[in-house]
Amino acid sequence: EVQLLESGGGLVQPGGSLRLSCAASGFSFSSYAMAWVRQAPGKGLEWVSVITNSGDSTTSADSLKGRFAISRDNSNNMLFLQMNNLRPEDTAVYYCAKDQPTQMYPYDSGSFDYWGQGTLVTVSS
Amino acid sequence: EIVMTQSPATLSVSSGERATLSCRASQSVSSKLAWYQQKPGHPPRLLIYGASTRATGLPARFSGSGSGTEFTLTISSLQSEDFAVYYCQQYSDWPKTFGQGTKVEIK
């Protein structure tokens, strides 16, 4: 059974930093790209960042570049999101999501077939 | 960035009735379109990918259609557990943008 468990959320002051983690199990973690998606309170879904299966390439939303960094540890089946210089508008539930590629070889990223339960990040003074 | 526009914002439907949700892309995404269902306090759940392929275990009352820029999610006979918010997402290009969602509520 695929499981994704986020942690690391909480209350942080504007300008502060936070590191989110996502523990994955039940699938071959190193074979799939992984992503972070966020949802502000009462709002829709916003794609944040993605990392390739090997970790050699990342892409982030233009609005977040320079502040957020995605990374992974394939040895321990972990996904991370380092968030710096946080702003009140970053307040959201952050989900990690497993990529479902349209094809494996060569890898072509697709939809998100499994999601974690999310971790709430609140940026407020 | 590809903009995804869903309509209507809210759909009021009675149990047992048919629900039709629309999603439009600002440029062609071919068939690289997914639909998700989200209930309050829960993460999104993948329903449809490739515009029309049902995710594993999804009841047959859910169907997706369309290609290019116009897509539809149809729920043939709404059950109580189907009242939720539905999002479309394109994965043709980065960033993988979502629509703003359609809330399906009980009439």
Q: According to the model, what pLDDT value does residue A102 have? A: 87
pLDDT, tens digit, 9 for 90 and up, residues B30-81: 999 999 999 999 999 999 999 999 999 999 999 999 999 999 999 999 999 9
Q: According to the model, what pLDDT value does residue A38 have? A: 98
Q: Give the closest of B1, B49, B87 to A45, CB-based.
A: B87
- Given a cut of 90, is residue A77 above it in pLDDT? yes
- Interval A61-72 mean pLDDT: 91
Instruction: Collapse the DSSP code of A29 into the 3-class scheme (helix H, G, I; strand E, B; otherwise coil) and give the result.
Output: helix
Residue of B nearest to A95 (CA): B43
pLDDT, tens digit, 9 for 90 and up, residues A85-98: 999 999 999 999 99
User: Looking at residue A48, what DSSP letter applies?
Assistant: E
Q: According to the model, what pLDDT value does residue A66 have? A: 84
CA dihedral A30, A32, A36, A37 (to 10 degrees): -160
Cβ contact (<8 Å) for A111 and B49? Answer: yes
- Given a cut of 90, is residue A17 above it in pLDDT? yes
